[in-house]
Amino acid sequence: MFEIGLGENGTVWLAGRLDAAESSRAQSFLDGLPMPKVLDLARLEYVSSAGLGVLLRTQKRAMSGGGGLVLINANKNLRDIFRYSGFDRVFDIRDG
């Protein structure tokens, strides 16, 4: 199961598993926002290569606008996925 939403402070939260089955829904949600800046991954359990593609496309859009995404609250497994894929050098990953 996957959920995505917008918090009161403009932070986008993701929960569950962001995989190929959910990537188009996540991309549509993120593309519908003016310019997402912070993604809270506290409740995200897993991200597949398709999910990483969603994050990368969103990062490229944010960078073209002069900004970039900040990923917060990624658990150890997610941090490992980002590190193994080299995405830890693409994203600003921070604790809460």
More confident residue, 78 or 67: 78
User: What domain range includes position 69?
Assistant: 2-94
The domain that holds 89 is classified in CATH as 3.30.750.24
pTM passes above 0.95: no
Question: In whole angstroms, what is the distance from residue 69 CA to residue 80 CA?
Answer: 18
Q: Could you give the CA distance from residue 69 to residue 25 in angstroms, rounded to a whole number?
A: 19
The count of structural domains within the chain is 1
CB 51 within 8 Å of CB 22: yes
Mean pLDDT of the chain: 96
R_g of the chain, CA atoms, integer Å: 12
**Phi, psi for residue 91 in degrees, rounded to 5:** -110, 150
- The vertex-36 CA angle with 18 and 26, nearest 5°, equals 25
pLDDT 10s digits, 10-31: 999 999 999 999 999 999 999 9
